[in-house]
Structure 1
Amino acid sequence: MMTSVSSLLQSIVLVSLWYSANQYKGISIYVLGNIFSCLSFVGFLLRNIFSLPLEVRLVNNLIFVSAILLHSIGIGQFLSRKINYRAWLWCFLLFLFSQVYLVYYFDDYFWRNFSILITIALAYGIGCKYILDTKIINYRVTSLSLAFILAATPLIVIMRLILLLDGQTHSIFTQTFANSFTFLSMFIIDFLRNGFFVLMVSQRMYSELHEVAEMDFLTQVFNRGATARRINKYLGGKTQTDVTLILLDIDYFKKINDTYGHDAGDQVLRDVARVLESALTFPELLGRWGGEEFIIFLPNCSAREARDRAELFRYNVETQNVYYVLQPLSCTLSLGVVTAPRHQVDLDELLKRADIALYQAKRNGRNRAEFVIIP
C-alpha cells in the first residue's frame, strides 16, 4: 500500500514535470514508465486482496518490467544517447517468452523472479551506461547520483536472489525478510531515481536559460553583460600577468546595411564572430559589445604577442568573404588594443584606453590596429 501510494504521488509530480518541460525528448517516455510502475504496484496490491487468474499475474509482471525498460530508454533519450530500439524490443520479447513459460508451463517462483530481476538489472545497467557515456558539465553531480542509484539496483537484485534461495518465499505476498527487503528497496530506489531525474531536468532547464541570458542571440557569442562579468572575474584574481583587451569595430558597417539590407548586415556579424572565435583558445574570450563592436580578452598575453594576435584577427576577417544570397561581401576591422599588468587595472580603465586606440585606428584610415601599453 505504501509503495503504491508513493508511486502514484510521484507519477503526479512527473506528469507535471512533463507538462512544463515537454521540449525535452525522453521525459514523456520516462513518465509513462513511472505510470506503468504505479499500475504494477496497484496490481500487486489487488492480487494480494483478490484471487485473480494467472493472466493477471502475467500482465502485472509485464507492466512492471516494461516500466523499468521505459525508465532507461527515457533517460537515454533525455541525454541524447543513441538508442538501439531493436535490442530493447528483443529484451522485452525474451522476457515475455520466459514469463509465459514460467507462468503456464513451469510454475516456479524462484526462476520467475530470476527472469524479472535479471531483466531489471540489465535495463538499469544500460541506463547507467547512458549517463556515464554522456559528457555532461552543468548537471554532472545530479546525473552521477542518478547513475549511482541505477547501479545499486543490480546489487539489490543479487541480494533478493540470495534471500530466495532459502525456499521460504513462495509468493510476493509471503511475509518473509526477502519480500520486506524487496519492497523497502523498491520504495527507496523509486523515490531517489525519480527525485534525481526531476533534479536533472530542472538543472538542464536552468542551465539552458542561463546560457540564453548570457548569449547574444544573433552571433551566439557572449553578450555585453556576460563578457563584462567574466573579464572582471578574471581581473580579480591574484596572478600577476599581462592581459590584453581588444575593442574592434567592423569598418563601414552602416554602409553594408544601407546597400544590401539589414539581413546582409546580420550575416556579416555572424560570420565575423565565427572567424574571430575560430582563432581563440581557452580561456580567451569573445563578446559582442554592442552594434558592430566586439571585444576580445586575452589573458596571459604580452604586448608583443598582442601585436601578432591583433594582426591575425584583422587579416582573417579581411581575407574571409561573407556570402549573402550567393553574393560575396568583404569587410575589414579597426582594432584598439591595450595591454596592461593584470593586477594594476580594471575593466573600465582597459575599455577607456582601448576605445581611444580604436578611435585612433579609424582616424588613421581603418583596417588597422592601434596599440596602447599600460606600464
Structure 2
Amino acid sequence: MQVNGKELNFILDSGVGATILFNLNPSDSLNLRNIEKIKLQGLGQEAPVDAILSRGNELSLTNIKSNNEKLYVIFNDGFDLSSKLGTTIHGIIGYELFKSFTIRINYSSRRLTFYDTAFYEYKICKNCEVFPLEFNMMKPYINVAVVLKEAPTKKVPVKLLIDSGGSDAMWLFENSHPDIVPPLNYFEDYLGEGLSGVIYGKRTMIESLQIGKFLLKNPTVSYPDSLSVAHALRFEERNGSLGASILKRFVVTFDYKNNRLLLKKGGHFNDAFRYNMSGIELVYNGKVLVKEKEAYNTLGAYGENQQASNTTVSINTNYKYTFKPTYKIYKVSPGSPAAIAGIKDGDVLIKINGKYTFNLKLEEIVHQFYQKENTKINVVIERNGIDYQYSFRLKNQLK
C-alpha cells in the first residue's frame, strides 16, 4: 500500500482495529500529519510502548483510496516482524480496510478480492456457510464450539476473535469459561510476540473444533500465559482466537458492513494439523556476500559452422559476488529435539539437509520443521566462527 505517497508493506490482520506502522527508517519519510505522542499496550508482559498518533493521512491500494486515515507509529526496535517473516514489513492494517469493502481471501491462490458491498451477492453452495459476526473494539468475533481432550464428550461454546494475522490454529484462554481448564498433556512453547513483548504458553491439541456444519478434528491449540494476554482479557466474553491455520482451510469472505462471515470449504480443509516439531524459531539475520561460480562456454577457432570433430569448446569460469540472506536461531524451546541435539539460541544456520540456507527463503526452511514425526533434519550451524553439524528427528511432544 501507499501511505502519503510512500509504498510500504502491510500485514492484513482482522485481529487489529487501528492501523499500526513500525520498522521505519529515515528513507521511509511519510510526512505524517497532525501528530501527538501516546502510549500503546499490546500483547506481552512488558510496559506500554511509546507511539505517535497521526491523523489525516492518505492510504491507497491500486484504485482504492482514502485521505483521512489515523495511523499509530511505534518505535519499539524489539517489535520486528520483518526478521521473523523474512520480508520487510512496515505495518499492520485491519479494520480500516475491512470496514469499507467485502473482502474475499483465497489462501490457496494467494489472492485478495475487494468487492463493493452494495453489489456483492452471496452464492449458496453445499460447502458454504454464512456466520454472524460480533464486534468489540473494531475486532470481529465468532461463536463456535470446541471439544477438549479433558472432556471428550462435552461441547464447550466459545467466542473467538477472528485473527487472520495469527499463524496458530487457535488460542484458548484458561479459565475464561468454567470448562476451559489447563490442559493435561502439553509442552511449554514460544507462541510469538506482541507490541508489549514475547508471548509464551502451553501448546497442545483438542479433540475437535465445530464451526457451524464444519468439523475439524485434532486441531492444535495454544494456551497463552495469562499475564501476556491480560490486555485481551479486558473483553470478558472472549475465550480465545481463531488463527490462520484454521482460516487457510477455507475461502474466507469478510462482510463487516452486514456483520457477516462466509466460509467455503477449501482444498486444504482435510490437511493434518501440524506444528513446528523442531523447537527452533528462526529469524532473518541480514545478508552476507557469497562467492559463486559463473561458468560459460566459448567456441574454439574453427567456429560453430565446422564439423563437430573440428570444433573445440572451452569452459571458462568466472566468479561473482552476490548478497544472500542469512538466518539465525532466535530461540530453541527447552526439551525440544533441537535443544536435546545441542543447538543453541543465536546459532547461525548455514545448511539444512544438505542445502545452503542462503539459497532458500525463510518459509522454505521453516516448512521443513512442520513435516511428519521422525523426519530427520541435518543442519550445519555457525557458532563463534566455527561450523558444527547436528542431526535430530522431529518429535510430536503431544503424545
The alignment's TM-score, normalised by the length of structure 2, stands at 0.19
Structure with greater Cα Rg:
1
The alignment's TM-score, normalised by the length of structure 1, stands at 0.19
More strand by share: 2
- Considering Cα pairs closer than 8 Å and 6+ residues apart, tell me whether 1 or 2 has the greater RCO: 2
